[in-house]
């Protein structure tokens, strides 16, 4: 069933915005009959609005969750030993236990890191943003520091850049750089970059060449580098300007300032507050480069 309202949207887009995952990941929920709109089982292609009565697995979704929320993005420094699922049958610790509480939605991780990998993760409450950042067409670079066993020859490096065949297809590094003062006995440190996020891809590329990986740490994802002062297990929320820089990089519309959305009829600002707000709004817009100096987490780049 499809809503006839002029404000309707695809059902998977609404569910993604409500925090059920990316658009792609919520499609099976609809296809398997777990979603109802106004009492009828929904199907892929259906459209709805936030005013419709939407149920997921027989649980009614609050209207406040279905309405468009301001985009929130956090950077998280994942320690080793935590998994990226919400619940674990083995009782292992998850990353979600360390994240700040979010209202009217839930955190969606943009990509994953396996149990023994540490470093930068990005999480958002915007399912469409998560979907685009993970989509291959946007070619979001992932950069890692990796410690491998054995002497790595130039021939091996060229081979990994040209592409090696794994069980799920060809994989390659776009850049490989040996790190200065990297030798630790028979172990060597490298900095590698790739544009995909397949399961354990970095480890499998190295292992295909006979070099087991003993340490793996992600330092960058797309525009973001991990802030130097962000401790393991901690998070940092991006500013409104930084959020809009990222939205633009994946062809999404910029959002209004959160403190400007519902002022009229709700907040009475003093003359002094108004002047201060106008001064802030009229400042010269900073570039991504300027933002990197301000927060230490942005990097030039984006869609290629």
Q: What is the CATH number of the domain that holds 174?
A: 3.30.2350.10
Within a domain: residue 32?
yes
Residue 250: count other Cβ atoms within 10 Å of its Cβ: 20
- CATH number of the domain where residue 52 is located: 3.10.290.10
User: Do residue 269 and residue 206 come from a single domain?
Assistant: no
User: Do residue 269 and residue 213 come from a single domain?
Assistant: no
Number of domains, the chain: 3
Q: Which tens digit of pLDDT belongs to each residue from 163-216?
A: 999 999 999 999 999 998 767 788 999 999 999 888 899 999 999 999 999 999
Q: Which tens digit of pLDDT belongs to each residue from 70-90?
A: 899 999 999 999 999 988 888
Q: Is the pLDDT of residue 304 over 50?
A: no
Supply the pLDDT for residue 217. 98
Q: Which residues contact 280 (CB under 8 A, 6 or more apart)?
A: none
Percentage of the chain modeled with pLDDT above 70:
82
Of 40, 66, 92, the last residue of a domain is: 66
User: Do residue 150 and residue 183 come from a single domain?
Assistant: yes
User: Do residue 203 and residue 245 come from a single domain?
Assistant: no
CB 77 within 8 A of CB 233: yes
Q: Which tens digit of pLDDT belongs to each residue from 115-169?
A: 999 999 999 998 889 989 998 899 899 999 999 999 999 999 999 999 999 999 9
pLDDT averaged over the chain? 84
> What's the mean pLDDT in 94-102?
94
User: Do residue 157 and residue 187 come from a single domain?
Assistant: yes
User: Do residue 196 and residue 159 come from a single domain?
Assistant: yes
Of 66, 88, 113, the last residue of a domain is: 66
Dihedral angle sign, alpha carbons of residues 32, 10, 50, 68: positive
Please report which confidence band the pLDDT of residue 266 belongs to, taking 50, 70 and 90 as the band edges.
Answer: very low
User: Do residue 214 and residue 259 come from a single domain?
Assistant: no
Active site amino acids: 114
Within a domain: residue 61?
yes
Q: Tell me the residue range of the domain where 152 lies.
A: 141-221
Supply the pLDDT for residue 162. 97
Within a domain: residue 103?
no
User: Do residue 149 and residue 200 come from a single domain?
Assistant: yes
Supply the pLDDT for residue 136. 87
Within a domain: residue 303?
no
Q: Is the pLDDT of residue 264 over 60?
A: no
E-strand stretches of the chain: 9-10, 35-37, 40-41, 47-48, 54-56, 59-60, 73-78, 108-109, 118-124, 142-149, 164-166, 169-171, 175-178, 187-194, 213-221, 224-225, 235-237
Of 66, 90, 114, the last residue of a domain is: 66
Q: pTM above 0.75?
A: no
User: Do residue 217 and residue 255 come from a single domain?
Assistant: no
Supply the pLDDT for residue 50. 83
* Cα separations in angstroms, 171 against 146, 161, 186, 194, 201: 17, 9, 25, 9, 8
Within a domain: residue 95?
no
Within a domain: residue 77?
no
Q: Which tens digit of pLDDT belongs to each residue from 12-51?
A: 888 887 878 777 889 999 999 999 999 999 999 999 988 8
Within a domain: residue 234?
no
Within a domain: residue 109?
no
Task: Give the HSE-up count for residue 93: Cα atoms under 13 Å, Cβ half-sphere.
Answer: 11
Composition of the chain by helix, strand, coil, percent to 5: 30, 25, 50
């Amino acid at each position: 069933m499809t809503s006839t309202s002029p404000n309707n949207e695809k059902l998977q887009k609404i569910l993604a915005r409500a925090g059920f995952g990316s658009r792609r990941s919520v499609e099976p929920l609809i296809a398997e009959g777990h979603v109802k709109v106004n009492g009828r089982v929904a199907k892929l292609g259906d459209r709805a609005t936030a005013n419709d009565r939407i149920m997921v697995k027989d649980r009614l979704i609050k209207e406040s969750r279905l309405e468009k929320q301001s985009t929130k993005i956090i950077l998280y420094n994942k320690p080793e030993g935590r998994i990226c699922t919400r619940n674990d049958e083995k009782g292992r610790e998850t990353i979600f236990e360390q994240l700040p509480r979010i209202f009217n939605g839930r955190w969606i991780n943009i990509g994953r890191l396996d149990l023994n990998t540490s470093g930068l993760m990005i999480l958002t409450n915007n399912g469409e943003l998560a979907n685009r950042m993970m989509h291959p067409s946007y070619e979001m670079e992932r950069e890692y520091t990796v410690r491998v066993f054995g002497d790595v020859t130039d021939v091996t490096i060229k081979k990994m850049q040209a592409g090696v065949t794994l069980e799920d297809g060809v994989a390659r590094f776009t850049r490989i750089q040996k790190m200065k003062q990297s030798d630790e006995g028979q172990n060597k440190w490298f900095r590698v970059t790739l544009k995909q996020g397949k399961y354990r891809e970095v480890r499998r590329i190295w292992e295909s060449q006979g070099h087991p990986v003993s340490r793996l740490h992600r330092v960058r994802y797309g525009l973001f580098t991990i802030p130097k002062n962000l401790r393991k297990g901690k998070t940092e929320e991006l500013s409104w300007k930084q959020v809009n820089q990222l939205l633009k990089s994946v062809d999404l519309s910029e959002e209004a300032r959160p403190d400007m959305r519902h002022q009229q009829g709700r907040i009475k600002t003093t003359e002094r507050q108004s002047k201060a707000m106008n001064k802030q709004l009229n400042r010269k817009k900073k570039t991504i480069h300027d933002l990197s100096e301000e927060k230490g987490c942005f990097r030039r780049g984006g869609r290629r």
